[in-house]
Structure 1
Amino acid sequence: MAPLPRGIRRAPALGRIRRTLLVALVTAAVTVPVAGAARPADVPAPAPAAAAPLTSSEPTALAAELTARYAAGRAAVRAAERTAEAYGAHRRAASLHRMAAPGRQFLSFDGRDGGRSAEVVGDLARADLIAVLVPGADTGLDAYDRFHRGATALHDTVRRQTGRRVAVVAWLGYRTPATGSAASLTPGRAAQAAPRLRALARELIRIRPGARITLLGHSYGSVVCAHAAAGLPVAAVVLYGSPGTGFDRVAELRTRAAVWAGRAADDWVGSVPPVRVPLLPGTELGFGTDPVDPAFGARTFAAGDGGHSDYLVPGSVPLRNLAAITAGKEPSRA
């Protein structure tokens, strides 16, 4: 077995135990079939029409461009709904039907390969504060409602706290791994997703050059944010419910943004061993230093007593603090 990466300090015996545990988890994820499990990526969908680029940063002109983009996004959702219904994927079709409701705003949508989307909650054309929410494992079109509720809760909380114009972009821009799968234990999908998240962030910076932009990654989404952060002129990167990032310290993210980390007291992800184990060339198992560990170097915020899925619950401690960070205010500290 290759040695642990430099910077991870632990008793040798404990390190061996943790590495053995992670290898066992990956082996189980790869070799144990899930009887009768649905494969959301298998549900077909038509290719969406090419989206018109956003060219203006002037609010009135940008609003008109966004209106056209949202109409195209809704049309793509409806086309995917029809295809899913014809295929017999009734759960997917029902979810897509809700997503196509009047007032929903999709900057982009592609129902293929499990689904990719970017939905806006709020008035992006005039927003002073923009939050980009990046979800973790098990988030997809079949279970999209929870992700949308979280984005709405963050939007409403920031607006109540500040009275300012805010937009939240719920970015499902990658194929999220299943919890406990081999893909959820390595940073491979995050590295693949990062360029797309960077492209979105740069588009937001271009069309709203004066806005404060924050990236917020939950669970595996924090790995995506960490891989996308380098050089992006965003105000903050928030890692919450994070298993680690694939980096051992904040400096390795190569960002000038404020990096925040928080974990709820009853979040099971705190039991994930903070190791990185080389496997095949170019592949690692695990995510390295715990982001709430002082050794990582992030600023930490209070995340309450909830579980792994409770960070965006309306009225909760972590939601109030995520909203404060989005607004550039000081959260309550851990």
Structure 2
Amino acid sequence: MTTRSRTARTPRRVRLRRGVLAALVAASVALPVSGAAGATEVPAPAPADLAPLRAATGADLAARYAARRDDLRAAADAAEEHGSHKRAAALRELAAPERKFYSFDGRDGGRSVEVFGDLARADRIAVLVPGADTSVDHYDRLRNAAEALLREAGPRTAVVAWVGYRTPATVSTDSITAGRADGAAHELTAFSAELADLRPGTPASYLCHSYGAVVCTLAAPGLSAANLVLFGSPGVGTDAVRAADLGGRAVVWAGRGSADWIGGVPHVSLDLGITTVGFGADPAAPEFGALPFDAGDSDHSGYLSPGSASLTHLTGIVTGEVAPADTRKAPRENTATPGNTVSGRA
């Protein structure tokens, strides 16, 4: 192919990417307008102002969880008074005696951090950072994912479901810009420091899905993380073109299921003047340099589904049974040896 023919094709490729992103913007603006126009925030009281924990003892954590249950019940009462019966019912379910919320704030759509397992005694911690459409009203999928990971990893693991930001709607302009992720990254960095102070020396893996992967890459320089795992990611949300550009000391992993629609999203970043859409480099691309893990045939919502190859290999990263050395020896489509299949670990 001549230089001229190559250069002639490049503008068409650029125009195609611009066209796809323009269509995304148009759809994001048009589709939610009718719903957004009448939307109102459900009121909630401010949570109790608790002193920072100095250590993750069982007694101190139990007191923290009890206080947050009170906050959840107060938010449920406020929602009921407002006439938001569905939200009230969801909050009362979250306030069940067996649930362990490290933090909760029902204002502005809600923020929460829930613990699964024994944070006081765990030998390792997995922090799940979800993407779009995760909220008090749409929480079951994240809870199911956390419980599936805990079952697979075993009782020596604590799983933390971190919803420390107002996640964007899937079909919205917020979901194709890094605006929400910028603020969320600061919150995640602060939580990471708090967790490291509570459990010094305990390795923490951050498992970041979809838009949550953008949050994690922006937070990467300040995360106290052993592993940073990006899956179903629309891009990195920064100018990074390689994993080493993200900063921080975490080992960076990436994977994408063969049935995940996000693989068809253009991994570009376009400055439209009033905003920038797209998230830049694809962390699952070989040239990015992240360590690959086998995500199997997962679709966009199925990475932590029970019995999936993706859950098996994500668990192996958390427990240390899938190590960086394994991925260098194994082909990309099979990043774990048969002995790394994990289920019900001690």
Same fold (TM over 0.5): yes
Contact 2:132-2:168 at 8 Å conserved across structures: yes
Say if 2:38 is the partner of 1:45: no
Q: Identify the match of residue 254 of structure 2 among 251, 261, 268.
A: 261
Correspondence for 1:105 among 50, 75, 100: 100
Tell me the CA shift for residue 261 of structure 1.
0.7
| Cα displacement (A) at 1:278 | 1.5
Match of residue 236, structure 1, among 227, 234, 248 = 227
Residues 184 and 65 (structure 1), Cα distance of their counterparts in 2 relative to 1, 3 Å cut = same
- The code of the aligned residue for 1:42 comes to E
Question: Any unmatched runs of 5+ in structure 2?
Answer: 1-8, 324-333, 337-346
The offset of 1:316, in angstroms, is 1.1
How far has the Cα of 1:49 moved from its partner?
Answer: 1.1
C-alpha distance after superposition, 1:222-251 (max 9, x if no partner): 000111110433100000111111133212
Is 1:288 equivalent to 2:283 in the alignment? Answer: no
1:327 aligned residue: 319
Deviation at 1:140, TM superposition (A): 0.6
SS of residue in 2 equivalent to 1:289: coil
- Cα distance in 2 for residues equivalent to 1:123 and 1:237: 22
Instruction: Return the TM-score normalized by structure 1.
Output: 0.90
Contact conserved, 1:40 with 1:142, CA < 8 A, in 2?
no
2:300 counterpart residue number? 308
Check whether the contact 2:208–2:216 (CA below 8 A) recurs between aligned residues: yes
Shift of 1:80: 0.9
Q: CA deviation at 1:298?
A: 0.7
Amino acid of the structure 2 residue aligned with 1:333: T
Q: 1:195 to 1:37 in 2, by over 3 A?
A: closer
Give the drift of 1:36: 4.4
Sequence identity (%):
56
Which residue number corresponds to residue 69 of structure 2?
74
Q: 1:251 aligns with which of 244, 250, 257?
A: 244
Equivalent residue in structure 1 for 2:111, among 110, 116, 119:
116
Q: 1:218 maps to which residue?
A: 209
Q: 1:244 and 1:41, CA in 2 relative to 1: closer, same or farther beyond 3 A? A: farther
Which of 19-28 and 291-300 deviates more?
A: 19-28
2:281 matches 1:279: no
Contact persistence 1:232–1:255 (CA under 8 A): yes
Residue type matched to 1:49 in 2?
A
User: Hey, which bits of structure 1, 4+ residues long, moved more than 4 A?
Assistant: 36-41
CA distance in 1, matches of 2:150, 2:54: 25
- Contact kept, 8 Å, 2:55 with 2:199, in 1: the verdict is no
Q: Which position in structure 2 is the counterpart of 1:3?
A: none
- 8 Å Cα contact 1:41/1:112 also seen in 2: no
Structure 2: distance between partners of 1:280 and 1:46: 38
Describe how 1:115-194 pairs up with structure 2 within 5 A: 115-159=110-154, 165-194=156-185
Where structure 1 has 5 or more consecutive residues not aligned to the other structure, the ranges are: 1-9
Partner residue of 1:25?
A: 24
TM-score, length basis structure 2: 0.87
Which digits, 9 at most, give the CA deviation of each residue in 1:41-65, with x for residues without a partner?
71111111112211125xxxx2221
| 3-state SS in 2 of match to 1:47 | coil
RCO (CA 8 Å, sep 6+): is it higher in 1 or 2? 1
Aligned length: 316
RMSD over equivalenced CA pairs, Å: 1.9
